[in-house]
């Protein structure tokens, strides 16, 4: 007889309201080690509740299943006896079954993937998608690529480091550039590091990549074209002022969408790297997580000079998921009205900034993507929608118990993939 898949959630809580709830722990145990299932297959979840490290003799846990955060099912209240309770669930379509278990202030989640490689785009690529971006790049090309390099202290020996400012449409490209000392012409691969959400300086520490694999050109840029190396108060002021809520700026107009400028800075950063006399002429990696993963997909879709991308828990995936009764990816730039209907203008504009559509245009040699099965910021359903749209060689790392984070395993996966690509291109 076939055993049913079994998940194990460890739920810790207190019986007394005046006692703070202990930390909740979550584990998964199943005969499907990768937590992936066939459509319609039943998954059995076992909830284990502990108090003070010991199985709870008796208590209650409220459980809610959903399609990765949307269309929640009615809550189920389970009686915990001797520290355990069980329930079953399933999906009859490609996607993710998300379980939330709560008791008081304690909570836990587990996710099960149902044929995620079959998740399709929620909407087609706009007919004028390519024409729109061709026009944007033509405007960028009118701006001469002038750069200013200011020497800074490198974080690693044998490397020259610079604060670099590069002219662009609107805000400049602003970052830190690392270059091996005495590098020969046309000898070095290049890597562009791009940032997750937030307002911060470029990361000088990324210049250590310049010492990898016998030497690389390494450029780390902040997402907003703002000065680097300023006090925390400088970035806090921008966060509270000019850049407050920036992901939603211009979300109803493709010409005004904030991400348009961000992505044009990507192209100008690539212009800079490929103009360096030391670049080998063939190897260019774009590497980032969350909003950085969003930028990695965009770079691959917009610029054929990109040879490989590493996109950890990528944002910007499937903005129009609601049109297929699915969850939208971060930053949810399509708001809903009081009746739950998406804003029509934002829905249309978002399609020009969607990783699902960028993926279809990617011409790079490969892509490495990571996903967390309980990620409620960049939900796995949205990530797979973009991953599946890639037509290039690709590989995905799954973290069954991870939310929106780079686990050590995911970080190693991305780094190894990038360096493997560099070696393969030599």
pLDDT tens sequence for the chain (426 residues): 333 333 344 433 333 333 444 433 333 334 457 889 999 999 988 888 888 788 878 888 899 999 999 999 999 999 888 888 888 999 999 999 999 998 877 888 899 999 999 999 999 999 999 999 999 999 999 999 999 999 999 999 999 999 999 999 999 999 999 999 999 999 999 999 999 999 999 999 999 999 999 999 999 999 999 999 999 999 999 999 999 999 999 999 999 999 999 999 999 999 999 999 999 999 999 999 999 999 999 999 999 999 999 999 999 999 999 999 999 999 999 998 888 899 999 999 999 999 999 999 999 999 999 999 999 999 999 999 999 999 999 999 999 989 999 999 999 999 999 999 999 999
Instruction: Specify the pLDDT at position 126.
Output: 98
What is the phi-psi region of residue 338: left when phi exceeds 0, alpha when psi lies from -120 to 50, beta otherwise?
Answer: alpha
Contact (Cβ atoms closer than 8 angstroms) between residue 182 and residue 172: no
Sorted by where each starts, the structural domains of the chain and their CATH numbers stand as: 6-118 (2.60.40.10), 129-425 (3.40.50.1820)
Distance of CA 194 to the CA centre of its chain: 11
Whole-number pLDDT of residue 59: 82
Cα dihedral 411, 359, 256, 292, rounded to 10, equals: 10
Global pTM value: 0.93
Q: Can you tell me whether residue 160 is helix, strand or coil? A: strand
CA nearest to 314, candidates 385, 255, 371 = 371
CA–CA dist 26, 11 (Å, integer): 7
Distance of CA 358 to the CA centre of its chain: 14
Q: Is 27 exposed, middle or buried (0-12, 13-18, 19+ CB in 10 A)?
A: middle
Q: What are phi and psi of 16, to 5 degrees?
A: -115, 125
Q: How far apart are CA 85 and CA 76, in angstroms?
A: 11
Tokens encoding 22: 């202990």
Which pLDDT score is estimated for 81?
Answer: 86
pLDDT in tens, 51-110: 878 887 888 889 999 999 999 999 999 988 888 888 899 999 999 999 999 887 788 889
Give the C-alpha separation, 182 to 405, whole Å. Answer: 37
- Structural contact between residues 294 and 318, judged by C-beta atoms closer than 8 angstroms: no
What are the tens digits of pLDDT across the range 412-422?
999 999 999 99
Instruction: Indicate the SS3 state at residue 311.
Output: strand
Cα 293 from Cα 118, distance rounded (Å): 21
Instruction: Assess contact for 111 and 135: CB atoms under 8 A.
Output: no
């Amino acid at each position: 007889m076939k055993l049913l898949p079994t998940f194990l959630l460890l739920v810790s809580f207190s019986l007394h309201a005046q006692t703070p709830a202990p930390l909740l722990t979550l584990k998964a145990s199943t005969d499907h080690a990768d937590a992936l299932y066939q459509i319609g297959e039943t998954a059995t979840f076992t909830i284990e509740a502990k108090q003070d490290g010991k199985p709870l003799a008796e208590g209650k846990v409220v459980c809610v299943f959903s399609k990765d955060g949307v269309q929640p099912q009615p809550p189920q209240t389970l009686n915990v006896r001797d520290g355990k309770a069980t329930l079953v669930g399933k999906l009859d379509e490609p996607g993710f079954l998300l379980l939330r278990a709560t008791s008081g202030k304690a909570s836990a989640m587990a996710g099960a993937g149902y044929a995620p490689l079959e998740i399709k785009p929620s909407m087609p690529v706009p007919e004028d998608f390519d024409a729109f971006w061709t026009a944007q790049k033509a405007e960028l090309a009118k701006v001469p690529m002038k750069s200013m390099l200011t020497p800074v202290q490198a974080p690693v020996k044998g490397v020259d480091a610079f604060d670099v400012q590069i002219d662009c449409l609107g805000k400049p490209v602003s970052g830190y550039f690392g270059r091996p000392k005495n590098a020969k012409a046309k000898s070095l691969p290049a890597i562009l590091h791009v940032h997750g959400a937030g307002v911060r300086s470029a990361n000088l520490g990324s210049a250590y990549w310049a010492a990898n694999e016998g030497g690389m050109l390494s450029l780390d840029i902040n997402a907003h074209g703002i000065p680097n190396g300023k006090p925390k108060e400088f970035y806090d002021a921008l966060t509270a002022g000019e850049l407050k809520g920036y992901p939603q700026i211009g979300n109803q107009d493709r010409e005004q969408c904030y991400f348009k400028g961000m992505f044009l800075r990507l192209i100008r950063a690539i212009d800079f790297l490929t103009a360096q006399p030391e670049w080998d002429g063939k190897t260019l990696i774009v590497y980032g997580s969350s909003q950085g993963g969003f930028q990695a997909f965009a770079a691959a879709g917009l610029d054929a000079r990109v040879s490989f991308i590493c996109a950890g828990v990528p944002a910007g995936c499937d903005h129009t998921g609601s049109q297929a009764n699915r969850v939208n990816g971060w930053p949810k730039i399509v708001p809903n009205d009081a009746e739950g209907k998406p804003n029509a203008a934002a829905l249309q504009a978002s399609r020009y900034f969607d990783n699902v559509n960028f993926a279809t245009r990617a011409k790079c040699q490969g892509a490495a993507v990571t996903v967390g099965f309980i990620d409620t910021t960049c939900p796995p359903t949205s990530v797979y929608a973009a991953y599946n749209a890639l037509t290039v060689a690709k590989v995905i790392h799954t973290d069954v118990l991870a939310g929106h984070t780079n686990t050590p395993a995911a970080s190693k996966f991305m780094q190894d993939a990038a360096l493997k690509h560099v070696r393969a291109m030599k």
